[in-house]
Each structure stands twice: as C-alpha cells, then as structure tokens.
Amino acid sequence: MSVGEIRVAINSDQDIVSARQKGRLMATELGFSTGDATLIATAISELARNIVSYAHHGQVTLRMVNGLNRQGISVIATDDGPGIPDIRQALRDGFSTSGSLGLGLPGVRRLMDEFEINSQPGKGTTVAVKKWRQ
C-alpha cells in the first residue's frame, strides 16, 4: 500500500463515519477547499451507506490521483453484495429498493466530477468516483 492510498473496511454504520473522516482528511491534505472536502466526505458517506444497506460488507479505497496538470482524489466503493439489477433505474432520482434512502447514486454523481459504476447481479457492485482540485 502506498502512502497515497487508504483502505477502509465497511462493516457497520460506525465505519461510514470513519471512511468519510479519512476522506475529508485526505482531501484537505491534497489541497481541496473546505467546501470541496465536504462534498467529497458527503459522497463517501453515501457510498459507504449503500454498502452497509445493501451488501453489509465492503470496502472504500481512497487514492490520490494525478491527471494532466491536476491532482485529485479517487474514491472506490466495492462490495460483493447482491448487485444492482437495473443500473439506469438506480441512477434516477428518487429510486430506492431499500425503501429508505433513494437519493444515493444520482446525488453522488452530482457531488463528484467523474462517476463510474459496475454491477453484476449476484456478484457485487463497484462505484468509482473522482474529484479534481480546482
């Protein structure tokens, strides 16, 4: 594991708090503004919550990334839970199968600059997001 990478195991609601605090710290160290660090921490909170709600166990990986003339943070949330049968539906505002949240994924997409999702029913879900420093 390199210095620019932090992995947080997500097994309970307490881990959601821990993941977003580590994400905020990393974002601040990378020079993100307080506002952007809050957006990143909020996105991490939602992604980690999806893991706890749907898959129960998973992992959030925080990584420093370098682009052309810019630096950013990448957040990858993975689980081997039930997967999302209809990703297009899950990306629509107001959709939820747990009957409780329903804003997670489309909201996270708005909070971050890049958003990628991969999900296979029965195998799990990976959501990878990035935010670049302004």
**Residues near other proteins (CB under 8 A):** 13-14, 16-17, 20-21, 24, 34-35, 38-39, 41-42, 45-46, 49, 93, 100-104, 106-108, 110-111
Q: How far is the CB of 9 from other proteins (least distance, A)?
A: 15
Burial (CB count <10 Å: 0-12, 13-18, 19+), residue 58: buried
Q: Tell me phi and psi for residue 55, to 5 degrees.
A: -110, -15
| Residue linked to tokens 């107001």 | 94
Q: How far is the CB of 52 from other proteins (least distance, A)?
A: 8
- Toward other proteins, which CB reaches closer, 5 or 93? 93
DSSP string, 18-77: HHHHHHHHHHHHTT--HHHHHHHHHHHHHHHHHIIIIIS-EEEEEEEEEETTEEEEEEEE
- Toward other proteins, which CB reaches closer, 93 or 121? 93
Q: How far is the CB of 58 from other proteins (least distance, A)?
A: 16
- Toward other proteins, which CB reaches closer, 16 or 26? 16
- Toward other proteins, which CB reaches closer, 8 or 41? 41
The letter for the amino acid at 6 is I
The token duo for 62 is 């925080």
Q: How far is the CB of 68 from other proteins (least distance, A)?
A: 25
